[in-house]
Structure 1
Amino acid sequence: MLDPDFDCPNGCDANGFLFDEVTRQAYPCSCREERLRRRAHGDMEASVGRYAPPRFQDLDWSSLPLSGIAERHTAAATHVRRFAERVGDNVRQGRGLWLLGNKGTGKTTLAYYVAQQARAAGLSVLTRNTTDLLNELRDSYKPDAQPTTRQIIDAVTHVELLHLEDVSVPRPNDWVLEQLYTIVNRRYEHNKAIVFTSDTPFGQALKPDALADHIGERTYSRLMQMVGDPILMTGQDYRLTVGA
């Protein structure tokens, strides 16, 4: 059975089929493809987790933290807001975002806002801290592990929007570089959008191409074609200055 709560205007059954009384045959309703897509997304969320923790749900520009970010980082907030207004078209065309800057400037919140709007638009979304994702992949090699390696790889490959946090944090080694390349390359080949964040220590110049040294030239090259120029956010750690 597909989504029983799906409100189909054609009155199809729970599996997305209509019945022709003349031919006495069942045929797929126009909604069946969408219902299959929704079930796949639901299965994905059930196996590998939902799109956002409580702190980053129900984000709105009229209240904190988004209102504060818009005040402190107007250009970045405007860019993200415009992207999110057309998130369905952007994601379906494989366009993503890179938020690069100092800790505590609001990169994560803006990325979660995009994820929130994508999900509200009916797209499947998967968010992971990059270190956590790599740890989950490592643990999935164990016998009887849940989710399995295949479930994780399938999710990060096929989800319509993949949101990765702190891409620059994991210490690079051959295994880490291989996993990052696999994830990015599969999405690149399938024209699947990525939104990701990365940090630069406060006081240091923001150098986008420095990420290539951390994640590998092949992975960096593909990401750049998928996201374009990064959205830069500089300043002191807002969490520390206000205790938030």
Structure 2
Amino acid sequence: MFDDDFDCPHGCDANGFLFDEVTRSAYPCTCREERLRRRSHSDMEASVGRYAPPRFQDLDWSRLPLSGIAERHTATAGAVRRYAGRVVQNASEGRGLWLLGNKGTGKTTLAYYVAQEARAAGLSVLTRNTTDLLNELRDSYKPDAQPTTRQIIDAVTHVDLLHLEDVSVPRPNDWVLEQLYTIVNRRYEHNKAIVFTSDTPYGEGINPDTLADHIGERTYSRLMQMIEQPFFMTGADFRLAS
């Protein structure tokens, strides 16, 4: 069954069909594709998890933490707002976003804001800490595991917007590099956008190319083609300062 709360102006049934009294036959309503898309989104969230934890829901620029981030990182916050304002177009064109910088500067909050706006615009969104995602993939190999490996890979491949946190954190080994390559390459081939964050230790110069050491050259090359440029966020850890 489809979402009974879907308000169709044509009065079709819950399955997205209209009935022709003259021919005594059913035919698909123009809203059926939208109903199918919503059902797919709902199934994806039900099978592979949440879109955002409570701390990062209902984000608004008029209050903390976004208002503070905008004050401390005006240029990057502005770029993120512009990206989120065109998130449907950006997602359809496979244009991603990379927030790179020191811990506690607001990268995660900004990424979740993009995810929030994408979901509000009707896009399917999957957010994951990269380490958690890799652990879920490893656990999915067990007998009777839920979600299955196929469900996870299908979700990260086909969801409209994939949001990955802390891409540089997992310790690289052959298995990790293979999984990251599979995820990124599938989205690259399907022209699907990725929003992701990664850290640089405080006091060190920010060099985007060092991410290749953590995720592999092939994966890094594809990510770089999927974004316009990384956005830098430097400074002290605001969580500790507050």
Q: Which TM bucket (shorter chain)?
A: over 0.9
The residue number in structure 1 matching 2:57 is 57
2:216 corresponds to: 216
**TM norm structure 1:** 0.98
- Residue 130 of structure 1: aligned partner: 130
Provide the rounded CA distance (Å) in 1 between the counterparts of 2:228 and 2:175: 26
1:200 — aligned with what?
Answer: 200
Counterpart residue identity of residue 181, structure 1: Y
- Of 118-127 and 219-228, deviating more is 219-228
- Partner SS state of residue 209, structure 1: helix
Letter in 1 for 2:212: A
1:182 and 1:48 map into 2 onto residues whose CA distance is 17
Q: Deviations over 1:97-141 (max 9, x none)?
A: 000000000000000000000000000000000000000000000
The letter for the 2-side match of 1:13 is D
Q: Which position in structure 1 is the counterpart of 2:114? A: 114
SS of residue in 1 equivalent to 2:229 = coil
Structure 1 residue 27, shift from structure 2 partner: 0.5
Distance 1:2 1:103 in 2: 42
Q: Which amino acid aligns with 1:203?
A: G
Supply the distance in 2 between the matched residues of 1:184 and 1:86 (Cα, whole angstroms).
Answer: 22
Which structure 1 residue ranges, 5 or more long, are not aligned? none
The equivalences for 1:1-244 within 5 A come to 1-242=1-242
Q: Which amino acid aligns with 2:129?
A: N
Q: Kindly provide the CA deviation profile for residues 141-173 of structure 1, in whole angstroms up to 9, marking residues without a partner as x.
A: 011111111111111011000000000000000
Q: What's the CA shift for 1:229?
A: 1.0
Question: What percent identity do the matched residue pairs reach?
Answer: 86
**Matched residue type, 1:168:** S
Please give the per-residue CA displacement for 1:36-66, whole angstroms capped at 9, x wherever unaligned.
Answer: 0100110110011111000000000000000
Aligned residues: 242
Letter aligned with residue 26 of structure 2: A
| Deviation digits for residues 80-100 of structure 1 (CA, Å, limit 9, x no counterpart) | 001111111111111110000
Deviation at 1:228?
A: 2.2
AA aligned to 1:204 is E
* SS in structure 1 of the partner of residue 60 of structure 2: coil
Counterpart CA distance in 1 for 2:31 and 2:109 is 34
The residue identity in structure 2 corresponding to 1:34 is E
Give the Cα separation in 1 of the matches to 2:53 and 2:46. 15
Unaligned runs of 5+ in 2: none
CA distance in 1, matches of 2:146, 2:155: 13
Work out the CA distance in 2 between the residues paired with 1:77 and 1:35. 34
CA distance in 2, matches of 1:230, 1:211: 11
SS at match of 1:98: strand
Using the size of structure 2 for normalisation, the TM-score is: 0.99
Q: Which moved more, 1:61-70 or 1:83-92?
A: 83-92
The CA distance in 2 between the partners of 1:59 and 1:24, in whole Å, is 50
Q: CA RMSD in A?
A: 0.6
Deviation at 1:35, TM superposition (A): 0.3
